[in-house]
Amino acid sequence: MASYEDEDHTQDYLFKIVLIGDSAVGKSNLLARFARDEFYSNSKSTIGVEFQTQKMDIDGKEVKAQIWDTAGQERFRAVTSAYYRGALGPWWCMISAGVRLLIASADGLMNSTVRAVTCLLTHSDMNVVTILVGNKTDLQDAREVGTDEGKALAEAHSLFFMETSALDSSNVKAAFETVVKEIYTILS
């Protein structure tokens, strides 16, 4: 079984996760909720911090998830160049928080960035685990995309699927755990 170590030599595994998707879908808040149990109702565009790490316990093993946040127009280039530099290797999981529950069309449900990166990675020789996340489930009155529609799209692209709310915390931990557990399973 492979094992990765970082500078403190304590964790058994280091998994790298990247958040991609349209602006304002809640990527930064999903990370803030997961890593710090915080929420920002008026969060500005992502600046500064490139990633945060969060320790998780999977089957009694300490797994460290290094979660990369991405922002704005640079997101696709940042993700791909990091990928080509090998900076995010050797294992990647991708939380595609690029789903707006407020988008009516199925096409808009998975934006072009998510599609492009998913395509790039699924056609590479790298093992990738991807989850499509529909965030902001607390805004039920504004929902225009049904759970079944999101689920069907995810299935069509072989992605995991989960609906979350960074505001009320529902499924946030579960979404990150889904990909981390899947990678752990693949590795072990």
**Smallest distance, ligand GDP to C-beta of residue 109, A:** 15
Asked if 37 interacts with ligand GDP (CB under 6 A), we say no
**Phi, psi (deg, nearest 5) at residue 63:** -115, 130
Indicate whether 116 belongs to the interface with ligand GDP (CB under 6 A).
Answer: no
CA pseudo-torsion sign 119, 18, 174, 39: negative
12 binds, among ligand GDP, Mg ion, none (CB under 5 to 8 A by kind): none
Residue 139 binds which entry of ligand GDP, Mg ion, none, with Cβ cut-offs from 5 to 8 Å by kind?
ligand GDP
Sequence-ordered list of residues with C-beta below 8 angstroms from that of 43, at least 6 positions apart, any chain: 28, 29, 32
Range 31-50, binding Mg ion (CB under 5 A): 46
Q: How many residues bind ligand GDP (CB under 6 A)?
A: 19
Q: Which residue is nearest to ligand GDP (CB)?
A: 26
Q: How far is the CB of 124 from Mg ion (least distance, A)?
A: 25
Contact present, 129 and 182 (Cβ < 8 Å):
yes
C-beta closer to ligand GDP: residue 58 or 114: 114
3-state secondary structure 94-157: EEEEEEECCCCCHHHHCCHHHHHHHHHHHCCCCCEEEEEEEECCCCHHHCCCCHHHHHHHHHHC
**73 near ligand GDP, judged by CB under 6 A:** no
Contact with ligand GDP (CB under 6 A): which of 111, 113, 118, 165?
Answer: 165
The CA-CA-CA angle for residues 105, 108, 109, to 5°, reads 90
Which of Mg ion, ligand GDP, none lies near 119, with the C-beta cut-off 5 to 8 A by kind?
none
Q: Which residues bind ligand GDP (CB under 6 A)?
A: 23-29, 40-43, 46, 135-136, 138-139, 165-167
